[in-house]
Chains A and B, each alone.
Chain A
């Protein structure tokens, strides 16, 4: 399978297209972060690392970052603003009050 790439492929002429309809590249060139009106922000002081936001992100634009603390493996959610469409599911589903808050985009 193709490696992760941010290249967009455009065929100029019909003869440039491959003889078989195969997908060659991922959709990473499509920076869906530009769709966003409202930006979710994680307050790491309140975040407990339950990863509910990561679980319900349909993009997926929340990465589960692994780190070690007191010899235990833990996870931390990190929002990828290049791809976050700002649907707000993480904000509604977060079980800790105030751990995820929203800002108007562009502020």
Chain B
């Protein structure tokens, strides 16, 4: 049988990710596709720890550790430096959801507006996992985190970052999941070939933060797509929306929720509220896709 994703391993073993880390899996696929001609700009996020203590590094390519809000602006600066030197290098800003949805959004918005030639990748684990599971703009409705305890679970839905990025009319935006590596590598190849700011959101489950079993990481990432909680799509020039993974028979959202301890406190009403919300978001998305 043939391998369906590139064979070369650029990310090395021995890194400090937890067992079954979705973020580590996302990095592995990304480096496999982009190759060694890549530079990373990493703000404060899980990956600033996973990479290892100085002077060690698990990724075998140059990494620039930067401040929490500056992933996109650092990447813009690195790219400008390479352009002056006449080098063609993939410059990637690699941030978590805290550094993208909340703290890093002004730098990302600025880079997208200037259309700097960078690839911004957000690995979305739906809270500030590195500092101990605090709520972020990406945390879903009714989820438990240490700052939204069971008595007061999150009362706001997940921020629709993809629509915010689409409003910038940037060349390429895509969402991907670690459970579909072929789809992810295809989108990365496409993003690599386009000039201008490109944005990729990778859904990466976090077993300790979601209070889930490490063995279910890929299963959860797949169930999120099959229940329409997270949709795989791509957008060209901010206007041309396209669903890349069509789900013919969506599963009920409870199948995704019941595998996670962060949703253990949910009542039946809460589950139907989440199901309604998923349907509503799906209809909004369908209007944009035009189907």
Chain A: residues with CB nearer than 8 A to chain B?
1, 4, 8-9, 17-18, 21-32, 35, 48-51, 54-56, 58-61, 64, 74-75, 80, 83, 85-89, 91-93
Contact = CB atoms under 8 A, between A and B. Distances in A.
Given A23-B54, A27-B57, A64-B7, A56 B15 contact: no
B61 A58 contact: no
Contacts of B17: 58
B217 interface: yes
B119 interface: no
Given A58-B217, A60-B9, A92-B219, A27 B56 contact: yes
Contacts of B58: 26-27
Contact of A30 (B11, B14, B207): B14
B5 interface: yes
Contacts of A48: 1
Contacts of B14: 26-32, 83
B196 interface: no
What's the dominant secondary structure at chain B's contact region? loop
Contacts of A21: 54-55, 65
B283 interface: no
B35 interface: no
Contact of A50 (B1, B216, B218): B1
A2 to B, nearest CB: 8
Contacts of A54: 3
B130 to A, nearest CB: 16
A79 to B, nearest CB: 12
Contacts of B22: 58
Contact of B217 (A1, A83, A89): A89
B13 A51 contact: no
Given A23-B56, A56-B218, A92-B215, 14 more contacts: A21-B54, A23-B51, A23-B55, A23-B57, A25-B55, A30-B52, A51-B1, A55-B5, A58-B21, A58-B24, A58-B28, A83-B13, A88-B213, A89-B215
B149 interface: no
Contacts of B261: none
Interface centre among B13, B58, B213 (most CB of A within 10 A): B13
B193 interface: no
Given A56-B25, A85-B19, A26 B215 contact: no
A88 B214 contact: yes
Given A89-B215, A89-B217, A58 B20 contact: yes
A89 B56 contact: no
Contacts of A26: 12, 14, 56-58, 60
